[in-house]
């Protein structure tokens, strides 16, 4: 089994090859590059599964290998002793193996789905599309098994570039290029902090490795134990600062408040791309990064509390905006932001397993929902407004039931996967929140968001599939083929049963050992010593409380969140599950305008750019033009003027030159004489 790990690089290289093939030969291929993409991602999926088996069955249970050193220097770190090295390496531990499977599975299904969504719809520019998908998958897979922070950063950036290329796929429209630019710029803003964080970590600890003896995580833990100073700060404060800098990139990529504004606009890309971005690649990259270097964040209670609070706030904030959207993809976009908020909340309170569990479940059900909405869009001849749909339930049963499974998982209704992970996150937040008021506030926001999630999810389901058809296209929808149905079915099954991976509440009640994911991430089946849930849990500095006993707390939390989710779903049922639903949004009054305008987030960010940054930039430009350029120009004009005057001594008369020579010689003689002390 161990020998399998030697093939690990191929996981990412397959999609890269597909990218090259699609780019070079795409126009000549029968499906314009779809086949290489499907084969490559299928190969990646098989290899990833093999990695999963190798991690579980191997003796060491992980793979950590440096493949290429591209820069090595002197020991430059504040406390690092070894020479700093920048390398490309592969780290496959239980977390990375799990994520590899998720990413390659979703990418594979998206490729298959594209056969019908893109090829059959007669799109142009398909080689470009498949090349983009291939590069996207490659970047994400390489990011997932990166063994150091710098490599992770590079592929993080590449993921951002690919999202730009794919969101702007329909570049002839007005909105798509603008959305692509926005996604690129907003995430780049966050990545700027990430870059500074990488540099700070490298400069502090002299290493950027994630795992092993010489990782920056271990170095940071040792520095905190020593109680020394780093760059004039407490070791712990410095860890918090650098952790938060890296978190900037996470907030940008995972669309957390306040850098979430790019994500809804990113719906301008093809729906398949949205599925890939939101379920498995770009947005997941942020949360995955937090999980990857969780040992580092666990050292800093402040950073964790900030992660938790931002997550909880984003969960509620985005969920409220999702309530009033009419576009099916927009609803899903806000639900994505909200769900990633939950993951951040889970990780922030130290619920490493809960966060990763939700990341996995979300990948399945959100890919399902996006592909389902893609199917709906095909059914509706590219209509995305839910008010023009209705009654699709009977005409497209496969789409309906799989979409329903995804919706139930998203809303967190027992026993679908989303319930188990969301409940675990909320439980982890609750027990920490009982001791920490700030976390309690984050928990409360997460809990309220459950109601909104249930509401908007089922509003979407009812408006799309239930009631009477509201337009002619809804009465006579386009049919969908196997390439759409098969991925939906696979994901539908996964969204339903993925919760079985970690039935923590059931395990606690019955005492049965069935929380497999926890054991998996705990390294019971193999893994690195320091990267287990157990060691993280010991590092996390939060106290845990309970209402009564642990079981009561758990049941209370689960009951509360399930009750709220059901309340949301039934509210949506009462309002929208009627033959001809009407808009109820005007009853919200002023709140409707605020929600509809996304809390004026875009407006204030545009104001920040135009009202604040632009004048500052103008002032800087003026300073540059006048003071800096003025000084440079001044020097040159003084030289010019001086030269113009001095050249007049060149009279062309040899006698004058001779006289000047003699005068100069005499002057020199006198000066030297004075300096040499002749006349003293």
Alpha helices in 206-327 (DSSP H): 216-226, 235-253, 262-265, 271-275, 282-292, 294-297, 301-322
User: How far, CA to CA in Å, does 551 sit from each of 260, 508, 509, 516?
Assistant: 36, 7, 7, 20
Closer by beta carbon to another protein, 659 or else 671 = 659
In terms of Cα–Cα distance, which of 99, 110, 128 is closest to 11? 99
**Segment contacting another protein by CB under 8 A, of 130-138, 186-194, 534-542, 647-655:** 647-655
**Segment contacting another protein by CB under 8 A, of 372-380, 503-511, 607-615, 644-652:** 644-652
DSSP 588: G
Closer by beta carbon to another protein, 616 or else 646 = 646
Residue matched to tokens 């409380």: 545
Closer by beta carbon to another protein, 632 or else 659 = 659
Site string for another protein, 591-630 (x = CB under 8 A): ----------------------------------------
Q: How far, in Å, CA of 51 to CA of 7, rounded?
A: 9
Closer by beta carbon to another protein, 172 or else 648 = 648
Q: Is 652 in the site for another protein (CB under 8 A)?
A: yes
In terms of Cα–Cα distance, which of 475, 455, 472 is closest to 391? 475
Closer by beta carbon to another protein, 590 or else 652 = 652
Query: CA angle 360-365-366, nearest 5°?
Result: 95
Min separation Cβ 154 and another protein, Å? 58
Min separation Cβ 642 and another protein, Å? 14
Closer by beta carbon to another protein, 481 or else 673 = 673
Q: How far, in Å, CA of 103 to CA of 115, rounded?
A: 19
143 to 182, contacts with another protein by CB under 8 A? none
Closer by beta carbon to another protein, 511 or else 652 = 652
The long-range contacts involving 550-558, CB below 8 angstroms and separated by at least 24 positions, are 550/508, 551/508, 551/509, 553/427, 553/430, 553/431, 554/427, 554/505, 554/508, 555/505, 557/423, 557/426, 557/427, 557/430, 558/423, 558/427, 558/505
Q: Is 631 in the site for another protein (CB under 8 A)?
A: no
Min separation Cβ 636 and another protein, Å? 19
Closer by beta carbon to another protein, 394 or else 644 = 644
**Segment contacting another protein by CB under 8 A, of 115-123, 232-240, 407-415, 656-664:** 656-664
Q: Which of 647, 675, 676, 677 binds another protein (CB under 8 A)?
A: 647
The answer to whether 130 touches 18, Cβ cutoff 8 Å, is yes
Min separation Cβ 669 and another protein, Å? 14
Q: Is 662 in the site for another protein (CB under 8 A)?
A: yes
CB atoms within 10 A of CB 339: 30
The answer to whether the bond into 34 is cis (omega within 30° of 0) is no
Min separation Cβ 677 and another protein, Å? 22
Q: Which of 650, 664, 670, 671 binds another protein (CB under 8 A)?
A: 650
Parallel, antiparallel or unpaired: strands 63-72 and 85-92: antiparallel
Element (H, E) at 71: strand 63-72
Sequence-distant (≥ 6) Cβ neighbours of residue 531 within 8 angstroms = 93, 95, 210, 211, 295, 523
**Segment contacting another protein by CB under 8 A, of 117-125, 249-257, 275-283, 648-656:** 648-656
Closer by beta carbon to another protein, 653 or else 680 = 653
Closer by beta carbon to another protein, 613 or else 650 = 650
Min separation Cβ 195 and another protein, Å? 55
Q: Is 653 in the site for another protein (CB under 8 A)?
A: yes
356 to 375, contacts with another protein by CB under 8 A? none
Residue matched to tokens 């905190």: 224
Closer by beta carbon to another protein, 617 or else 658 = 658
Q: Is 654 in the site for another protein (CB under 8 A)?
A: yes
Min separation Cβ 680 and another protein, Å? 24
Helix, strand or coil, per DSSP, at residue 92: strand
Min separation Cβ 656 and another protein, Å? 9
Cβ density class 108-121: b for 16+ within 10 Å, e for less: bbbbbbbbbbbbee
Residue matched to tokens 């339903």: 496
Q: How far, in Å, CA of 561 to CA of 584, rounded?
A: 25
Q: Which of 510, 651, 664, 671 binds another protein (CB under 8 A)?
A: 651
Sequence-distant (≥ 6) Cβ neighbours of residue 264 within 8 angstroms = 330, 333, 334, 337, 598
Q: Is 639 in the site for another protein (CB under 8 A)?
A: no
Structure tokens at 272: 């398949």
Size of the site for another protein (CB under 8 A): 11
Closer by beta carbon to another protein, 640 or else 653 = 653
Q: Is 648 in the site for another protein (CB under 8 A)?
A: yes
Min separation Cβ 161 and another protein, Å? 57
**Segment contacting another protein by CB under 8 A, of 87-95, 174-182, 316-324, 646-654:** 646-654
Min separation Cβ 651 and another protein, Å? 6
Min separation Cβ 635 and another protein, Å? 22
Closer by beta carbon to another protein, 57 or else 642 = 642
**Measured between alpha carbons, how far apart are the two ends of the chain, in Å?**
95
Q: How far, in Å, CA of 368 to CA of 404, rounded?
A: 10
Chain residues that interact with another protein, rule: CB under 8 A: 647-648, 650-655, 658-659, 662
């Amino acid at each position: 089994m161990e020998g399998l790990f030697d093939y690990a690089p191929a996981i990412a290289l397959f999609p890269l090859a597909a990218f090259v093939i699609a780019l070079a030969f795409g126009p000549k291929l029968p499906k314009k590059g779809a086949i290489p993409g499907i084969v490559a991602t299928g190969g990646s999926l098989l290899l990833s599964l093999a990695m999963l088996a190798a991690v579980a069955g191997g003796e060491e249970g992980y793979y950590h290998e440096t493949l290429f050193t591209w820069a090595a220097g002197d020991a430059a770190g504040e406390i690092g002793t070894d020479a700093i090295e920048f390398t490309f390496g592969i780290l496959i531990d239980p977390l990375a193996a799990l994520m590899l499977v998720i990413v390659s599975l979703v990418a594979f299904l998206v490729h298959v789905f594209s056969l019908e969504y893109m090829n059959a719809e007669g799109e142009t520019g398909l080689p470009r599309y498949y090349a983009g998908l291939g590069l996207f998958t490659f970047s994400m897979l390489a990011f997932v098994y990166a063994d150091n922070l710098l490599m992770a950063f590079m592929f993080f950036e590449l993921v951002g570039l690919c999202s730009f290329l794919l969101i702007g796929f329909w570049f002839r429209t007005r909105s798509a290029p603008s959305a692509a630019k926005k996604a690129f710029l907003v995430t780049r803003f966050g990545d700027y902090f990430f870059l500074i964080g990488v540099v700070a970590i490298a400069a502090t600890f002299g290493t950027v490795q994630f795992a092993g003896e010489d990782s920056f995580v271990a170095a940071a833990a040792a520095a905190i134990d020593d109680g020394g100073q780093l760059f004039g700060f407490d070791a712990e404060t410095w860890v918090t600062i650098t952790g938060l800098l890296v978190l900037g990139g996470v907030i940008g990529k995972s669309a957390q408040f306040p850098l979430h504004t790019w994500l809804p606009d990113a719906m301008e890309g093809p729906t398949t791309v949205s599925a890939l971005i939101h379920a498995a690649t770009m947005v997941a990259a942020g949360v995955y990064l937090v999980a990857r270097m969780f040992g580092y964040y666990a050292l800093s209670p402040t950073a964790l509390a900030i992660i938790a609070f931002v997550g909880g706030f984003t969960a509620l904030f985005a969920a409220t905006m999702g309530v009033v959207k009419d576009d099916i993809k927009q609803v899903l976009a806000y639900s994505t932001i909200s769900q990633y908020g939950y993951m951040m909340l889970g990780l922030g309170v130290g619920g490493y397993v809960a966060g990763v569990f939700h990341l996995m479940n979300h990948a399945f059900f959100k890919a399902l929902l996006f592909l389902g909405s893609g199917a709906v869009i095909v059914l509706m001849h590219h209509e995305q407004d839910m008010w023009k749909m209705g009654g699709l339930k009977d005409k497209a049963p496969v789409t309906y039931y799989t979409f329903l499974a995804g919706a139930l998982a998203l809303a967190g209704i027992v026993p679908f996967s989303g319930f188990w992970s969301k409940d675990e996150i909320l439980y982890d937040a609750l027990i920490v929140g009982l001791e920490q008021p700030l976390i309690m506030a984050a928990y409360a926001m997460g809990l309220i968001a459950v109601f909104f999630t249930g509401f908007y999810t089922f509003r979407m389901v009812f408006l799309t599939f239930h009631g009477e058809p509201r337009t002619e296209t809804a009465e006579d929808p386009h049919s969908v083929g196997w390439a759409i149905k098969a991925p939906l079915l696979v994901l539908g099954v996964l969204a339903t049963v993925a919760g079985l991976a970690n039935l923590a509440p059931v395990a606690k009640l019955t005492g049965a050992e069935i929380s497999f994911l926890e054991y998996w991430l705990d390294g019971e089946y193999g893994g690195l010593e320091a990267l287990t849930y157990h060691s993280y849990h010991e590092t996390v500095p939060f106290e845990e409380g309970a209402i009564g006993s642990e079981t009561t707390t758990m049941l209370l939390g689960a009951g509360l969140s399930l009750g709220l989710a059901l309340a949301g779903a039934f509210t949506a049922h009462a309002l929208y599950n009627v033959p001809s639903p009407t808009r109820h949004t005007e009853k919200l009054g002023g709140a409707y305008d605020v929600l509809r305008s996304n809390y004026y987030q875009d407006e204030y960010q545009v104001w920040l750019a135009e009202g604040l940054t632009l004048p500052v930039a103008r002032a800087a430009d003026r300073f540059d033009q006048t003071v800096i350029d003025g000084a440079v120009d001044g020097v040159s004009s003084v030289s010019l003027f001086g030269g113009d005057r001095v050249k007049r001594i060149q009279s062309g008369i040899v006698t004058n030159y001779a006289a000047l020579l003699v005068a100069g010689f005499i002057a020199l003689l006198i000066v030297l004489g004075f300096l040499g002390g002749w006349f003293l």
